[in-house]
A and B are shown apart, each in its own frame.
Chain A
Amino acid sequence: MTAEIYDRGYRRYDGPRTGVRGAMTTLIKHSIRRSLGLGRSARFKVVPILIILASFVPAVVFVGIAALIPAAIGDEFLPTYAEYYGFIITTLYLFAAFIAPDLLCNDRRSSMLGVYLASPLDRRSYLAAKAISVAIMLGIVTIGPPLFLMIAFVLEGSGPGGFLETLETGAKIIAAGLMMSAVYTAVSFAVSATTDRSGTATAGTLGALVGSTAIANIVVENTDVSDNVLLFSLLELPGELAFRIHGEVGEWRPGAISTSNMWLAVAGILVVSSLWVWSRYGPLLVRR
């Protein structure tokens, strides 16, 4: 038997190429890795890991309560799946405010946008891949903990009864989570498309969420306008719609604000955000 030494070196490549879809998949994977701080120094890992852990902590506590305390008493302490968002809402806002600016603003400030647009990606596929990345990351927080809660309850025997009910609850959790991810992605994307500075975009995202809610509530409480003005509350709308998806009632009275209006408001946020982001990226001159 003889040993052979291969000096491969740089050479021509005539194998298959994955095209635009492959480029989008690559960008999504890369963006998620960056958001989680993988392949980056420790300081980039701290915020995402803490936020994700914080979103799961209440679920772990509730699973513990369900396991240790008799069902008759424990049920009083346990939230519904829609109520769960109330425990993790801060982590959601923070996540939304940090991820999109990190993924969008830094590409524009560095030469990376030019490198991406010099690949098979164009502006649309680049933005789509980035939006999917942000939505997946937010989905970890909006879908992960309630889904974990449901699975744990099912295993403990205190969850939805029967296969179909479990499936229906799971579908509602995913639908509510996707809707929340989409809204927060849209808001943070729109703000991140407005400035090249990620810190400013983070502050702007938080400002848009808190500010819109404060203004909508002040207007409704101090004037005679319709409660539908609350649909402009970017902070409350997704959570309230999550209640409706789960067949529950939140703070907003169904008689005052209909579920269809809430869906329309969500669609409006997505459309306005998309148009705004495109108005920023469409004519953007890539000079780097």
Chain B
Amino acid sequence: MAEGVAKRYGTFSALSDVNFTITSGITGLLGANGTGKTTLLGMMLGLHQISGGSLMVLGVDPFTDGSKIRARMGYAPEHHTLPGDVRAADFVHHVAELHGLPPREARTRASDALWLVGLGEERFRPMGTMSTGQRQRVKLAQAIAHDPSLVLLDEPTDGLDPEQRDDMLHLIKTVSESFNISVILSSHLLDEVERICDAAVIIGDGRTLAAGTLDDLRGTGADVVVQVGSEAEAETLAQILSGRGVAHQIDGRTVIIRGDDESVFDTARDACASAAVSVHRLSRRRLSLEDVYLERAS
């Protein structure tokens, strides 16, 4: 949970007013490159002290009680420059031991984690000989091998082709749903967050632009969208709505009727009937994350 979190480097303000509450499931941390996502992840890990506000992770202040918190967290860094001469199984085993697993347990779980991410057969290969996709999987395996409560993944699909990206997103969803591990997924790609996340925190200009479940962010439950046959019909419908004092917005063949209760459907139906327009679609308004991002950013 973050309340008014700020981070300054000298006179430069990287984050100024970040507020969010993250619950279990997969949460997307969205923002353009350089908006402070990695800095925020670093603060969650207790690597950087916050300059203002308060930040609690798993109920604890990560900076003052970092060791305890980090034992229960997994982290996959963004960059791919892991030691190339180290075998994947040795690397994952080493990280699992670092997080407190006894050596034998760490060895077994490293193997299990690598099998889970699809690298069972490749686990004894040096990481320098692996493709970008395989290295991303190794990073995921080392982040989950010690059975964390929370995993931070920094751009886990960076450098992957579309097919590999699908596989990685599927894996992340499996990790979260099958093993009840909460995931914070840092990304600048809106569509991948939209595909697998339950909630999102959108960062821009060093502050929270929006935060909440995807349903909340996309506005499910508010406004009705009516798509009619032509722009002229949309104009006619808009005139009827204006005459009845109903708030609305027109966009080409689409008319958005404001209202968040069930009666807005009746209003839409009656207006369409009065205007004698052909209705092609009538549904609750549902924004894409891109719409939300652009709307909040502007």
Give chain A's interface residues, CB within 8 Å of chain B: 8-13, 15-20, 22-23, 26-27, 30, 39-41, 44, 106, 109-112, 114-122, 285-288
B-side contacts of A285, CB under 8 Å: 9, 42, 48
Residue of B nearest to A121 (CB): B98
* Stretch binding the partner chain, chosen from B17-25, B75-83, B217-225: B75-83
B115 touching A10 by the CB < 8 A rule? Answer: yes
11 new A-B contacts, CB < 8 A, other than A22-B100, A39-B86, A115-B95, are A18-B101, A22-B97, A23-B100, A27-B98, A114-B47, A118-B47, A118-B73, A120-B99, A120-B100, A122-B46, A286-B47
Q: Per-residue CB proximity of B109-122 to A under 8 Å, as 1/0? A: 10011011000000
Q: Per-residue CB proximity of B79-113 to A under 8 Å, as 1/0? A: 11111011100100011011111100100110011
A9 touching B116 by the CB < 8 A rule? Answer: yes
Q: B20 to nearest A CB, angstroms? A: 21
Q: A41 to nearest B CB, angstroms? A: 6
| 5 pairs, CB–CB < 8 Å, chain A vs chain B | A18-B97, A23-B99, A112-B83, A287-B42, A288-B79
In-complex Cβ contact of B71 among A19, A109, A116, A287 (8 A): A19
A-side contacts of B82, CB under 8 Å: 110-112, 115
Q: B246 to nearest A CB, angstroms? A: 52
B99 touching A10 by the CB < 8 A rule? Answer: no
B-side contacts of A116, CB under 8 Å: 98
Q: B128 to nearest A CB, angstroms? A: 10
Q: B143 to nearest A CB, angstroms? A: 9
A-side contacts of B94, CB under 8 Å: 26, 30
Q: B44 to nearest A CB, angstroms? A: 10
A-side contacts of B115, CB under 8 Å: 9-10
Residue of A nearest to B114 (CB): A10
Residue B157 interfacial (CB < 8 Å) = no
Cα A110 to Cα B78 with chains together (Å): 11
5 closest Cβ contacts across the A-B interface? A17-B100, A118-B75, A13-B147, A119-B98, A26-B97
A288 touching B77 by the CB < 8 A rule? Answer: yes
In-complex Cβ contact of B179 among A10, A16, A40, A106 (8 A): A10
From known contacts A10-B112, A119-B70, infer whether A18 and B102 are also in contact, taking CB-CB under 8 Å: yes
B-side contacts of A17, CB under 8 Å: 71, 99-101
Cα A117 to Cα B42 with chains together (Å): 10
B67 touching A9 by the CB < 8 A rule? Answer: no
Cα A17 to Cα B83 with chains together (Å): 26
Q: A7 to nearest B CB, angstroms? A: 10
A-side contacts of B146, CB under 8 Å: 13
From known contacts A10-B116, A22-B100, A115-B75, infer whether A44 and B47 are also in contact, taking CB-CB under 8 Å: no
Residue B66 interfacial (CB < 8 Å) = yes
From known contacts A9-B112, A17-B99, infer whether A122 and B67 are also in contact, taking CB-CB under 8 Å: yes
Residue B168 interfacial (CB < 8 Å) = no
Cα A173 to Cα B263 with chains together (Å): 91
Residue B208 interfacial (CB < 8 Å) = no
A8 touching B112 by the CB < 8 A rule? Answer: yes
**Highest count of chain A CB atoms <10 Å: which of B47, B68, B86:** B47
B42 touching A286 by the CB < 8 A rule? Answer: yes
A111 touching B81 by the CB < 8 A rule? Answer: yes
Cα A285 to Cα B45 with chains together (Å): 13
B23-77 CB contacts (< 8 Å) to partner A: 38, 42, 45-48, 66-68, 70-71, 73-75, 77
In-complex Cβ contact of A287 among B38, B73, B75, B83 (8 A): B38
Residue B142 interfacial (CB < 8 Å) = yes
B-side contacts of A39, CB under 8 Å: 86-87, 90
Q: B200 to nearest A CB, angstroms? A: 23
Cα A22 to Cα B98 with chains together (Å): 7
